[in-house]
Amino acid sequence: MKTIKKVLVIDDEDDLRKLIQTCLELTAGWRVTTASSGQEGLAKAQTDPPDIILIDVMMPGMDGLTLLQHLRADASTQQIPVILLTAKGRSSTPDPFAQWNIQGTIRKPFKPLTLAEQITSVLSQSSDFTP
C-alpha cells in the first residue's frame, strides 16, 4: 500500500496555496509543491509526479475540470489520485463530480488544521493508500 509523501496543490489563490502548503507540511510532514494555474500544475505533475493532487475547481484559464481531463489523458499522470477543492454547495445529484474519476472533493472553506485528516479520510476509501 502507498502512503502520501508528496502533494501537488493547484490553486490560483496565493494565500490559500500557502496556507494549504504550510498546514500539510506541519501537520502531516508531507512535501508540498504548488502551482498557481492549471497549465503550471499540469507541467509539474508530468515532470515530478506527486502521490496526490489537490485541484481548485474554479480557476481562470484552465479550470480544474479541464486540467483533470488533461491529467487523465496523459499516461504519466492518469493514475495519480485527485481531490477537488470546491466552493460549490451541495447539489441535488448524489455526486456531481463522479464522472471525473476523482478520489473525492473537499469543500471550501475547510479547517486548515484538519485538512491532512480530511485528505487521508478521502483516500482511505481507496485500497491503494493507507491513512
Element (H, E) at 33: strand 31-35
Closest CA to 33 of 56, 67, 5, 72: 5
CA distances from 92 to 57, 76, 96, 101 (A): 19, 34, 9, 19
Query: Is residue 71 one of the residues assigned to a domain?
Result: yes
CATH code at position 110: 3.40.50.2300
pTM of the model: 0.88
Q: What is the pLDDT of residues 59-98, one digit of tens each?
A: 999 999 899 999 999 999 999 999 999 886 544 444 555 6
Question: Looking at the 3D structure of the chain, how many domains does it have?
Answer: 1
The mean pLDDT of the chain is: 86
Q: What is the pLDDT of residues 24-56, one digit of tens each?
A: 999 999 999 999 999 999 999 999 999 999 999
Query: Is residue 128 one of the residues assigned to a domain?
Result: no
Query: Is residue 25 one of the residues assigned to a domain?
Result: yes
Residue 34: give the domain boundaries. 6-123
How large is the average pLDDT for residues 94-117? 79
Helix residue ranges, H only, 1-131 = 14-28, 38-47, 64-73, 115-123
